[in-house]
């Protein structure tokens, strides 16, 4: 079951350090960022922040009515094969607490995922 997006914000942001290292881009690089709040009606419970390799020609006008991996395959010819993940607990900061409707400091699970294509990269030609 695909959960609906309650919020979707797409923008270009200066790359965070971890994403910059993963994609081997310079500190002044701007990367496409998706922020999504998903869940069931009346119960948002997942807040995603995704950064994309600048070589993928996605834009802030991207139509996100289809699943992300489907868009990457059909529109950009990128076939996701592997993801490397870390899961850990932390306290919700003010922004995350507001998004999820919880108190600042409440425990949340954080998942960091690095996604790779068939060639163990995402769009580094």
pLDDT digits 0-9 by tens, 10-23:
999 999 998 888 88
The contacts of residue 49 (CB under 8 Å, 6+ apart) are 33, 34, 35
Residue at 71 is within a domain: yes
Q: What is the CATH number of the domain that holds 40?
A: 3.40.1410.10
Structural domain containing residue 96: 5-117
The contacts of residue 26 (CB under 8 Å, 6+ apart) are 20
Residue at 125 is within a domain: no
Alpha carbon distance 122, 115 (integer Å): 7
Percent of all residues in the chain with a pLDDT value above 90, rounded to a whole number: 26
Residue at 100 is within a domain: yes
Name the DSSP class of 56: S
pTM: 0.77
Q: Are 111 and 86 in contact (CB under 8 A)?
A: yes
pLDDT value of position 22? 86
For the chain, what is the domain count? 1
């Amino acid at each position: 079951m695909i959960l609906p997006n309650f919020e979707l914000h797409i923008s270009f942001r200066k790359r965070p350090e971890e994403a910059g290292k993963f994609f081997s881009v310079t500190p002044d690089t701007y990367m496409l960022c998706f922020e999504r709040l998903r869940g069931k009606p009346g119960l948002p419970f997942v807040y995603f922040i995704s950064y994309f390799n600048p070589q993928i020609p996605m834009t802030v006008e991207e139509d996100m009515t289809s699943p992300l991996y489907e868009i990457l395959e059909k529109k950009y010819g990128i076939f996701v094969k592997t993801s490397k993940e870390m899961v850990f607990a932390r306290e919700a900061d003010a922004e995350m607490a507001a998004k999820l409707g919880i108190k600042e400091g409440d425990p949340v699970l954080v998942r960091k995922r690095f996604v790779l294509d068939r060639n163990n990269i995402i769009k580094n030609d």
